[in-house]
Amino acid sequence: MSWLKTLFPREGRASDDEGDKHFWLAMRENYGYWLTIGCLNPKGPRWSKLLLLATLICWLILVATSYHVLYTDPGLVCESVHFIIFVVVNFNFWISFFIQSETIIDIYRQMGAGFYDYGELLDPETRGKVDRLIAQTKGRKKMLMKGFSLMAFLTYFSMNIARPLLKILNDDVTAVGQPGMFPLLPVTFWLPVQVTTLSYTLMFALVEVASFNFTGVVVGHIFFFLATCEEVSLECRVVALTLGSAKRISLASSVPLSVCLSHSIRHHQVIIRTVDKVERIVYYPAMFYIVCSGVLLCISGFLFLTDKIDLIAKMSFACFLISEMLGALVYCYYGEKVKTMSSEIYNELYFGDWIEDMVEVKNYNLIVQARSFDGLTISAGGFLQLNLETYTNVLSSAFSYFNILNAIST
């Protein structure tokens, strides 16, 4: 069972590289096993890539199935199209994580080591405030990640365990007897093969592995964005705190005010570079994810409300609908949060205790104010900004698409 140790990273993993220790520490604290399951972990075991192969095979079968039943089963066509789009959209994240693997490693190492070390510079009051902010951030991340993990498990269970089981218990054998149809799988598949007990067993195993892998892909990239944006927001608050309290810190540590301010400015530079790295990773995948979220929400809502599929399928798509709404919300909410927290540096600096000091310090602070005035934004493909306004547009688009699809179906 030694392979389990590679799947679930632990703090203190044997390594001669201090950076690797920080990497695995950050992975452990941020539910990094999801990235390993989804083949997104750049230091994950090589065998995990086989999970992705199962997902790609299932995607090709879904394409074949949707074409085969295009004119005979509109409900199954909608289901297949939903999962085809879902896989393509989230597969873009895997491509980006693979290309940007070194950047991913750098970000997790930075989170594990701490973004910036002030050493003994901070006075007890400021240090206490920083420690409280760190504790609050860790607690919030843990709560959100546990909640989202539970939602992912519920979605996986409803689709891959409950749905096939209820089909069997309810004797739902629609399409059994039709050549190549596998209706008792979580999603009905068609293949130009003879339906036998062996083929059913192999197909069921393939679907379970693919679903397990793709749950990791979806949750993994969402947790990466959530964790990094929470850390960036925390660091922005720390910079705002140290800039606003620079004079008190200077007096307590007997260090010149200009030195205290230079530490805060270097810290701010680290934050800016980190946000640039995150944007490079999610730049195109986030664009496809947000743009296609409207379509996915539309199809999930339609399948949940239509009478073209059974009650068992409705239960599964209710979970998908909630998960897809939450996934889009994470990207838009945290994009907004990064902008808001980075803008707070401007306000804290404006009301800071350095105002009565030397003119040259004031000039440097005016430069920092100008740099932080608009806040840091994360763009998705240069096409849109990740913020709550974008999320509102996604929901509005989904509702419009739903009305069109509903009108066509009736």
Token pair of 336 as six digits: 């907004």
How buried is 148 (Cβ within 10 angstroms: 0-12 exposed, 13-18 middle, 19+ buried)?
A: buried
With respect to residue 177, please indicate whether it lies within any of the assigned structural domains. yes
Question: Interhelix angle for 49-68 vs 197-244, to 10°?
Answer: 120
With respect to residue 329, please indicate whether it lies within any of the assigned structural domains. yes
With respect to residue 119, please indicate whether it lies within any of the assigned structural domains. yes
- Containing 370, the helix (H) or strand (E) segment is helix 359-372
- Looking at per-residue confidence, does 365 or 336 come out higher? 336
With respect to residue 11, please indicate whether it lies within any of the assigned structural domains. no
Residue 394 reports pLDDT greater than 60: yes
**Residue 362 lies in domain:** 54-409
With respect to residue 306, please indicate whether it lies within any of the assigned structural domains. yes
- Mean pLDDT over 241-248 rounds to 78
Residues whose CB is less than 8 angstroms from the CB of residue 115 and which lie 6 or more positions away in sequence, other chains included: 231, 235, 267, 270, 271, 274
Residues whose CB is less than 8 angstroms from the CB of residue 231 and which lie 6 or more positions away in sequence, other chains included: 111, 115, 137
Cα separation values, 6 from 2, 37, 45, 52, 145, Å? 7, 11, 6, 17, 21
Residue 97 reports pLDDT greater than 90: yes
pLDDT digits (tens, 9 = 90+) for 267-314: 989 999 999 999 999 999 999 999 999 999 998 888 888 777 767 777
Token pair of 89 as six digits: 């959209």
- Looking at per-residue confidence, does 169 or 404 come out higher? 404
Token pair of 205 as six digits: 């195993």
DSSP 137-200: HHHHHHHHHHHHHHHHHHHHHIIIIIHHHHHHHTT--TTTTSTTEETTSSS-EE-SS---HHHH
Q: Can you give the pTM of this predicted structure?
A: 0.89
Residue 225 reports pLDDT greater than 50: yes
pLDDT digits (tens, 9 = 90+) for 30-88: 999 999 999 999 988 877 778 888 889 999 999 998 888 877 777 788 888 888 999 99
pLDDT computed for residue 220 by the predictor? 94
Cα separation values, 367 from 65, 162, 353, 360, 361, Å? 60, 59, 17, 11, 10
* Closest among 380, 379, 377, 352 to 366, alpha carbons compared: 352
* Cβ–Cβ under 8 Å, residues 357 and 298: no
With respect to residue 35, please indicate whether it lies within any of the assigned structural domains. no
Residue 384 reports pLDDT greater than 70: yes
With respect to residue 38, please indicate whether it lies within any of the assigned structural domains. no
Q: In the beta sheet, which residues pair with residue 182?
A: 189
User: How many structural domains are present in the chain?
Assistant: 1
The pLDDT confidence band at residue 104, using thresholds 50, 70 and 90, is very high
With respect to residue 335, please indicate whether it lies within any of the assigned structural domains. yes
pLDDT digits (tens, 9 = 90+) for 316-347: 788 888 888 999 999 999 999 999 998 888 77
